[in-house]
Amino acid sequence: MNILDIGYHLLRPALFRLDAEQAHTLITGSMDRLVALPLASLLLPQPVADPRLHTSVADITFANPVGLAAGFDKDGRHVAALAALGFGFLELGTVTPQPQPGNPQPRLFRLPADKALVNRMGFNNAGAFALAERLHTLKRPLPLGVNLGKNKATPNADAASDYVRGVTILGPYADYLVVNISSPNTPGLRDLSRREPLTELLLAVQDARRRLSADLGRPAPPLFVKLSPDEDSAGLDAALGAALDAKVDGLIATNTTVSRGDLRAPQQQETGGLSGAPLQERSQAVLRHLYRATNGTLPLIGVGGISDGDSAYARICAGASLVQLYTALIYGGPTLIAQINRRLLALLQRDGHASIASAVGSHAAIGRAL
């Protein structure tokens, strides 16, 4: 542990007595101020730099495969602080075309006994133009993805126009884009994951990407689709079929779940999407299903319940080219990313892999799919 990690774990009991969203604001603001200090590098975790962790996905090069999942930094306000923790990439958002306040507070709940969170944030964000203005002048220390959603007031019949606007406004500043049709906290959003509406939506987004590419005079950012863990195999195959029809560049598996299972914390009764450790098995099964269904031909980003180097490596061996986390950072503290990357190096060496890419899908035939 370094001094920053010791300080976080000493303060965590007090932070956990605060409302979760209030604590998030306090911590991110403190990190922003810390990284601006002249001697901040003496306090921050030492980055794990090793060529064996380098990987390339959709023509983007990543210094390591561990990224921040969408939801933590919706408006791109904390990029410098988060980059300093050693992430290989950050996914900003979810962002909608128009600003929206999200659902009433409280809307974020910790489940410490389960190392989980429940959120019903509802795509609270400052809107696409605000994020574009910030990204236009932002120093880019690592790849930045942008997760796109629709405004709550936009009916599903018009949803494609919201995603097209997101591509048009934010595409010039993103390293990759994500179509999020899997959040449980926007009424009716998951209905868009059915094959026909999703195909129609993705084809409209792909047309917008082609126009953007012509305007920019360079390729548009690659496109990923984020899927729900609550679909059965038929539902997943329908969404996968739409994604393949539209020739997307990859999939993200998975978003949060509305199921609860065997949880201990009383906050499990709160409405919203569950994330963290209880999601690990289901998310891995979904990813394994997608990898097998595509014979490993479509890049996958694994997210859901990843909390340490072993769970990150298991997701990579099941078929993920990259992994993401959010909830584990709340429980693990600021040195977690460095710990994960050091463990990944040890596991690569143990199994005789010279790179992350070599390990991807190496255990795909082993273990439970859907």
Q: Which residues are catalytic, by number?
A: 183
> Which regions of the chain does DSSP assign to beta strands (E)?
55-57, 60-62, 66-68, 89-95, 108-111, 116-119, 144-148, 176-180, 223-227, 250-253, 273-276, 300-303, 322-325
Handedness of CA 225, 324, 114, 359 (dihedral sign): positive
Tokens, residue 276: 């963290």
Question: Tokens at residue 270, please?
Answer: 């709160």
Q: Residue 43 corresponds to which tokens in the numbers above?
A: 């306090």
Crossing angle of helices 280-293 and 309-318, in 10° steps, is: 20
Percent helix, strand and coil across the chain, each to the nearest 5: 45, 15, 40
Name the 3-class secondary structure at 92.
strand
**What are the DSSP calls for 273-300, one per residue?**
EEEEGGGHHHHHHHHHHHHHHTTT-S-E
Cα–Cα distance measured from residue 104 to residue 120, given in angstroms and rounded to the nearest whole number: 9
| Burial state string for 135-173 with b = 16 or more CB within 10 A and e = fewer than 16 | beeeeeebbbbbbbbbbbebeeeebbebbbbbbbbbbbb
**For the chain, how far is it from start to end, CA to CA, in angstroms?**
38
